[in-house]
Amino acid sequence: MVPGELSGLRPATATEVLDASVAVPISRRRALPWRLRPPRIGLTGTMAILIGLLLALPIGAFLLVSISPRLFSQGSSWFTLQAFGEALSGPALHALADSALVGVGAALLALACALPLALALHRTNVIGNRIWQFGVWALLLAPSYLVALGWERLFEPDGVLIRAGLNVAVFQKVLYGPVGVILVDGLKGVPFAFLAISAALPGLGSSFEHAARTHGAGRLASLRVVLPILAPALWASFAIVFAETISDFGVAATLAYSAKFPMSTFSLYYAVGNEPVQFGLAAGIGWTLVGLVGVALFAQRRAMRGRSYQVLSGRTRPYTRIRLRPAAQAATLLALTVFFFLALGVPVLGAISASLLKSLGTATHGFTLSFESYTRVIQESALYEPLLYSLRLAAITATVVMALSVPAARLLTRRGSGLVGRTLDLVLLGAVAVPAIVMAAGYILIWNLPIMHSLGLSLYGTTALLSIAYIAGALPNNSRILVGPLAQLHESLLTSARTHGAGNAIAWLRVALPVLSRYITWVWIYCFSLTLLELPISELLYPASSPPISVAIQRRLENYDFAGGTAIEVIAVLGALAVAAVVLIAYRLLAPRGWREVGVAR
């Protein structure tokens, strides 16, 4: 360095020299004792711990008790397979065979209904398209036990139709048996299959159908060309409906129980909900249910192996709707009307007519319609206390799940989340296939352990534990719903916000929230509606002094107060619809216009 280059420099002050001398030891002192620094858990670690406590711990412990009952103070053996022997023999094996039969039958029926339904609503100009799609969502949100109870109220001995003077003996024999159970479960499973098929249809385009028509094929023959290409969606639909059916408790506890047609979910409930509690047998039954889901997934993967279904590319042309001729339009409308009458019309008609029929369920005969049951249940605390209790819990659950689903879905869509992120994805995916009653039984097992009472964590039989179980049961499905919208959220939006000085929290509130607000609102409504009338978790974990509305309905029906029980059903459903309408109206009025126009076609 030449002397002239030092002319712009000045001597350092004493303070600067002191700061410089202190800076080196400080930097070294921070680098050396790394063991003393608190670990940064981060979003991934926090969600992993939370989901582990909510889902992995109770489910894993419950399934483990079948192998090592002494580990949970449920027996003297550290290792045994006795529970599996009990679960695969006698009445439990019979119930497992019935569940498998119903699962396969319901999945095939749902697939046979969902495929033409999806083709009609997405590929044709059928009249009332939005009304029919609203019907699909209404069927999706309707609890399975309410659908089954609607059928029962109409066709049961001394039911609505019998009192009306109609001879329905033939229909009774069909309904109260495997055919009736498959029918109700299959109709309830149509929305799941419909959504899976609908997601695959837009990417298919119309080129294959046009090519078949060019070579002289008719509409039905061209459809045979399209169906093999939809095989992944069809197999996914089958697996989803099969898993939903065998894990369903609503139909098993109502129609199947009345028909003396035992199913595994009710056998598991009976083993846990009666004295003496048989956790080992219940856990063995839980393993068999999870195994059935695994068989369905294995069959799906085996059918897809070695085949390619890649048809979506830059050359794929948008599909065009088929303009139906008047005769075809009339036939399609008739078919849609018949389907939705069976899926929704019959249960709604059964519930409303039963609630209006005086003295239904008693020895008094007659066909007198009145609003006496509504007046009676409204004047009693047996309605409004459970309803207000369930409304409060459903609102809390939906809000917490909405807050947790966004970061959970964010982790599932973020690249480079590592081993913890992949494990989190696997746990959430596996929890979707685990029956809710298995998870509820796990909560009973964990929170009844002596160590929990010694630690002062006596939550069993409290509203707090019921709320936690509601949140755990709703989180896997709702986080999966948000995976699609969050996967479409480009990272550049958040990066731009941070570049302009916003922190992570502000970037999410100012950028991501407006984009995701409509989806988050629908997640809240979906979670609220399902939690309000949830049955299996409520049956096992409700506080004795505060039954939820679903338990109150069941208790009414068990006491043969059919008119009062169905009146409570109708009021509860109307309450859920009212809350959903209020939320949607509030979003439309309060949300900024830009939020409401994100993703809306112009």
In this structure, the answer to whether residues 112 and 175 fall within a common structural domain is: yes
Confidence band for 57, pLDDT divided at 50, 70 and 90: confident
Same domain? 104 vs 154:
yes
Shared domain check, 393 and 353 = no
The reply to whether 230 falls in a domain is yes
Residue by residue, DSSP assigns 145-204 as HHHHHHHHHHHSTTSHHHHTT---HHHHHHHSSHHHHHHHHHHHHHHHHHHHHHHHSGGG
Q: What is the pLDDT of residue 190?
A: 92
Closest C-alpha to 348, from 577, 579, 191, 118: 577
Is residue 219 domain-resident? yes
User: Both 423 and 539 in a single domain?
Assistant: yes
pLDDT the model gives residue 341: 94
What percent of the chain clears pLDDT 90, i.e. is strictly above it? 13
User: In the predicted model, is pLDDT for residue 470 greater than 90?
Assistant: yes
The pLDDT of residue 602: 43
**Residue 340 sits in the same domain as residue 410:** no
Contact 563, 358 (CB under 8 A): yes
In DSSP notation, 491-526 reads: HHHHHHHHHTT--HHHHIIIIIHHHHHHHHHHHHHH
Who has greater pLDDT, 494 or 139? Answer: 139
**Same domain? 255 vs 339:** yes
pLDDT category at 87 given cuts 50, 70, 90 is: confident
Check which CATH number belongs to the domain holding 533 and give it: 1.10.3720.10
pLDDT of residue 105: 94
Q: Identify whether 71 is part of a domain.
A: no
Mean pLDDT lowest among 102-106, 178-182, 271-275 = 271-275
Residue 4 within any structural domain of the chain: no
Q: Which residue has the higher pLDDT, 316 or 507?
A: 507
Residue among 183, 123, 175, 129 at smallest CA distance from 154: 175
Instruction: Give the model's pLDDT for residue 509.
Output: 67
Among 259-268, 330-339, 376-385, which stretch is predicted with the lowest mean pLDDT? 376-385
| Stretch 194-212: mean pLDDT | 64
pLDDT at 556: 83
The per-residue pLDDT for range 405-415, each reduced to its tens digit, is 888 877 776 66
If asked whether residues 201 and 337 sit together in one domain, one would say yes
| Judgement on whether residues 345 and 381 belong to the same structural domain of the protein | no
- Judged by DSSP in three states, 23 sits in helix
Q: Is the pLDDT of residue 167 over 70?
A: yes
> What average pLDDT score do residues 163-190 get?
89
**Does residue 64 belong to any structural domain of this protein?**
no
Supply 231's token pair: 């095989």
Taking residues 580-591, report their average pLDDT.
85
- Residue with more model confidence, 197 or 600: 197
pLDDT-derived band at 296 (thresholds 50, 70, 90) equals: confident
The model's pTM is 0.76
Domain total for the chain? Answer: 2
The answer to whether residue 103 sits within a structural domain is yes
Crossing angle for the helix pair 549-558 and 381-413, nearest 10 degrees? 130
Calculate what percentage of the chain has a pLDDT beyond 70.
73
- Look at residue 337 and tell me whether its pLDDT is greater than 50: yes
Note whether 446 and 341 are same-domain residues.
no
Is the pLDDT reported for residue 451 higher than 90?
no
Residue 72 structure tokens: 């949970």
Residue type, 192: F
Please tell me whether residues 353 and 389 are part of one structural domain: no
> What is the span of the domain harbouring residue 448?
375-602
What stretches of 414-507 show up as alpha helix (H) in DSSP? 418-433, 436-447, 450-454, 463-481, 483-487, 491-499, 504-507
Residue 217 confidence (pLDDT): 55
| Residue 370 placed within a domain | no
Mean pLDDT of the chain: 77
Q: How confident is the model at residue 308 (pLDDT cuts 50, 70, 90)?
A: very low
Q: What is the mean pLDDT of residues 282-294?
A: 84
- For residue 229, pLDDT beyond 50: yes
Please tell me the predicted confidence (pLDDT) of residue 226: 67
**Distance separating alpha carbons of residues 372 and 392, to the nearest angstrom:** 27
Quote the pLDDT of residue 362: 61
Same domain, 143 and 205: yes
* Contact indicator for 359, 366 with CB cutoff of 8 Å: yes
**DSSP output for 533-564:** T--HHHHHH--TTS--HHHHHHHHHHTT-HHH
Q: Residue 28 above 80 pLDDT?
A: no
* Angle ∠(108,111,116) on CA atoms, nearest 5: 140
Convert the pLDDT of each residue in 514-547 to its tens digit: 777 878 888 898 889 889 988 889 988 888 888 8
Q: Does residue 37 lie within any of the structural domains?
A: no
- The whole-number pLDDT of residue 598 equals 56
Quote the pLDDT of residue 279: 82
Question: Which pLDDT does position 248 carry in this prediction?
Answer: 87
> Do 272 and 404 share a domain, yes or no?
no
Residue 174 has pLDDT above 80, yes or no: yes
When mean pLDDT is compared over 108-112, 194-198, 272-276, the highest value belongs to 108-112
